[in-house]
Amino acid sequence: MKILVINGPNLGLLGVREPEIYGKVTLADVICQLQLVAAENPGCELEFLQSNHEGAIVDRLNAILTDAPVDGIVINPAAYTHTSVAIADALRACDKVPAIEVHISNINSRESFRHESLTAPACVGMIAGLGTDGYEWALRALIRRIQK
């Protein structure tokens, strides 16, 4: 089982950028935690991508259909959540691969422009507002879903 974990723009600054909103946990900490969860599930392999570039995210999602398949996707599109039809379309193109969207903050309790996710309708679920723990819950849910 291979799961792709995608993080969008500015998430490489976790732990530094706006810690009052996003906390002090770094992206490296998130990756370590997810690797521990994967290790609990024999045969579970994780691939990580963090990019500030929309096209790099779209390219990797497109590659799922050609030469780099995966069994599931955990995605935090970050700011692209609210703006990227391209990422939403790329997720829809992978409709046989379940994706779960993650947001560290509760996007519905923030500025009104953050209330709408263009990408969530292309996912099987969304976890928001649980801090970086949301990544773990998304990964665990995805593993269960794939194993069924």
Residues identified as active-site: 22, 103
| Cα dihedral 72, 44, 10, 55 sign | negative
Backbone angles phi, psi at 133, to 5 degrees: -60, -25
The angle at the Cα of 45, spanning 98 to 127, to the nearest 5 degrees, equals: 40
**CA end-to-end span of the chain:** 12
Contact by Cβ (8 Å): 7, 46 = no
Rounded-to-integer distance, Cα 54 and Cα 95, Å: 19
Q: Which of 132, 120, 129, 128 is nearest to 31 (CA)?
A: 132
